[in-house]
Amino acid sequence: MNRYVSVDTLRLALPALSLAILLVAVFWLQPRAMSYTGLNLLFNLAVPIALATLAQMLIMAVNDLDLSIGAFVSFVACVTATYLYSTPVVGILILAASVGAYAVLGVIIHLRNLPAIVVTLGMSFVWGGFAVLLLPSPGGQAPEWARWLMTVRPPFVPVAIVASIVAALLAHLLVMRSSLGVLIRGVGGNARSVERAGWSVIAARAAAYGLAGFFAVLAGIALVGLTTSADAGIAQRYTLLSIAGVILGGGEFTGGRISPIGAVIGALTLTLAGSFLSFLRLPSDWQIGAQGAILIIVLAFRLLLNRLEARNK
């Protein structure tokens, strides 16, 4: 009994601890960041990344990997900055259809037994193509409500942090507390036994992909709410960031072992690593490399704590 509790809490405690350490380091370098505005600036861009990470996490829950998240979020951003701004009804229809396309993708991948990596690779061209057609050059305009949602100033806690917490809790309820979530994670754990127990694996996969599409749509809207305009390649790097975020948050590639709260924390950690490096005044040549190094250090740290935990058992 005791063992299970400690494994579960550890899965969450480690990402939280690395985030806390990084946050302390940032405050130490730049004490002015320790304010309402400072925190908001630090975590602003983390909101869309966190939402995209949750989308990637849902795909990873069924043992697949989505290489098209970046292109898809870019596409959603382009739709948001064009149709959702000018003719909201058309915009909503397009976004609903694209969430549907994600669910259909899950069904096709399951029915034809296709490698998700390659299908989503192909889809990344498709979404990228549509994005280029919508906005051949950077532009567009953010809908008023999206802009308001991302720049509102609630009392005491900045909106970036409120949004991250809401997203994490929503995903937590959905994936860890609902029967649908259990089913999705079950497909990742052992699809055959889920099937034998009388559940529909196709429906579960379709649901996982559809939900992933939904979260990715939210990511695109949030991104445009922040940047006020879009371009076709605006979120390209989200593909790799979202995978790294899930892993940093304690998720795994197989077995349906994921943690929504961890995934959000992982995304926040990645964003914060970027700010940390700019506060360090590192030459720009080494910024990317240092980000890689931070990723390695956090993971090494995780291994160390895992080892300690195993020894105490």
Partner 1 sequence: MTALQSLTQRPWIWSFLATALVWFTTVLMTGTGGALGLSHAAFTFAAFSVIVGTGQMFVITLGPGNIDLSIPATMTLAGTVALKLMAVDNGMVAAGLLAALGVGLAVGVANYTLIKLLRIPPIIATLSMSFIVQSIAIWTNRGLRIKPPQLLAEFTTSSTFGVPNTALVALAVTVVAWLLLERAVYGRWITAIGQSLEAARMAGVPVEGARFVTYVLCAVLAAFAGYLLASFSGGAALNMGAEYLLMSIAVVVIGGTSVAGGESNVPGIWGASLFMFLVVSMLNTYGFSAGVRMIMTGFIIISVIMLAGGWRANAR
Indicate the residue among 45 and 241 with the shorter CB distance to partner 1. Answer: 241
Q: Do 213 and 54 touch, CB atoms closer than 8 A?
A: no
Plot region of 138 (φ>0 → left; ψ -120 to 50 → alpha; else → beta) = beta
Out of 125, 166, 200, 278, name the contact with partner 1 by CB under 8 A: 125
Stretch that binds partner 1, among 9-17, 139-147, 185-193, 245-253 (CB under 8 A): 245-253
Q: Please give the structure tokens belonging to residue 40.
A: 């908001």
Q: Is there binding between residue 190 and partner 1 (CB under 8 A)?
A: no
Of the residues 130, 214, 215, 238, which one makes contact with partner 1 according to CB under 8 A: 130
* Closer residue to partner 1, CB minimum distance, 83 or 160: 83
Phi, psi of 230 (to 5 degrees): -140, 165
Beta bridge partners of 307: none
Residue 296 in the binding site for partner 1 (CB under 8 A): yes
Name which position in 115, 153, 154, 173 contacts partner 1 (CB under 8 A): 115
Q: Using an 8 Å Cβ cutoff, are 139 and 86 in contact?
A: no
Encoded tokens for 251: 């998720």
Interface characters, 255-294, with partner 1 (x: CB under 8 A): ------------------------------xxxxxxxxx-
**What gap in Å lies between CA 234 and CA 74, rounded to an integer?**
5
- Cross-strand bridge partners of residue 230: 139
What distance in Å separates the CA atoms of residue 209 and residue 65, rounded to the nearest whole number?
11
Whose Cβ is closer to partner 1: residue 177's or residue 307's? 307
d(CA 145, CA 143): 6
Of 19-27, 88-96, 203-211, 241-249, the segment contacting partner 1 by CB under 8 A is 241-249
Q: Does 128 bind partner 1 (CB under 8 A)?
A: yes
Stretch near partner 1 under the rule CB under 8 A, chosen from 8-16, 20-28, 252-260, 264-272: 252-260
Neighbour-count burial of 195, counting CB atoms closer than 10 A to its CB (0-12 exposed, 13-18 middle, 19+ buried): middle
Of all helices (H) and strands (E), which one includes residue 109?
helix 88-111
Closer of 104 and 162 to partner 1 (Cβ) = 104
Q: Is 208 in the site for partner 1 (CB under 8 A)?
A: no
Q: Which is nearer to partner 1, 36 or 125 (CB)?
A: 125
Q: Given the structure tokens 């849902």, which residue do they identify?
A: 58
Binding site for partner 1 (CB under 8 A): 67, 108, 112-115, 117-119, 121-133, 136, 240, 243-244, 247, 252-254, 285-293, 295-296, 299-300, 303
